[in-house]
Amino acid sequence: MEQKNRITEGVIWKQLLIFFFPIVIGTFFQQVYNTADSIVVGRFVGKEALAAVSGSVNQIVTLIVEVFVGLTSGASVIIAQFYGAKDHKNLNRTLHTAYAFAIVTGAIVGLIGFWITEKVLIA
């Protein structure tokens, strides 16, 4: 049995909740990670390290997360258009392009992070 989620049918607020909760859960776990990171650093490393983690590092992590949020938001609009038009050829091309772009962007961010981590944390 195939289950389809038709967001344009039925009660809109119920349909929106289907998309809302995964986003909230993801955001919650990101905040739990940040809180746990701050607790561990503050307790075991010290005030100066906590200030560094809370200030510069969290801003950098947020910037990286927002890059990928922007990428997925933009790609999802195009993917939804091709899906709605039942244009499977362009849908597959767009999906593969989005995945490839995300992988390349992730690799670039990882390499930059590897090269500049020590300089950023010392500054």
C-alpha distances (whole Å) from 48 to each of 4, 39, 57, 96 are 52, 13, 13, 44
> Percent of the chain, pLDDT > 70?
85
pLDDT higher at 79 or 53: 79
Spatial separation of the C-alpha atoms in residues 35 and 54, rounded to whole Å: 9
Q: Can you read off the two tokens belonging to residue 98? A: 């989005």
Q: Can you read off the two tokens belonging to residue 9? A: 């049918």
Spatial separation of the C-alpha atoms in residues 33 and 118, rounded to whole Å: 22
Q: Which long-range contacts (CB under 8 A, 24 or more apart) does 36-42 make?
A: none
Spatial separation of the C-alpha atoms in residues 83 and 76, rounded to whole Å: 10
Residue 87 has what DSSP assignment? -
3-state DSSP helix/strand/coil percent for the chain, to nearest 5?
85, 0, 15
- Binned at pLDDT 50, 70 and 90, residue 25 comes out as confident
What's the whole-model pTM score? 0.57
Average pLDDT over residues 76-97: 91
Closest C-alpha to 83, from 1, 6, 3: 6
Contact at 8 Å (CB) between 66 and 82?
Answer: no
pLDDT higher at 108 or 66: 108
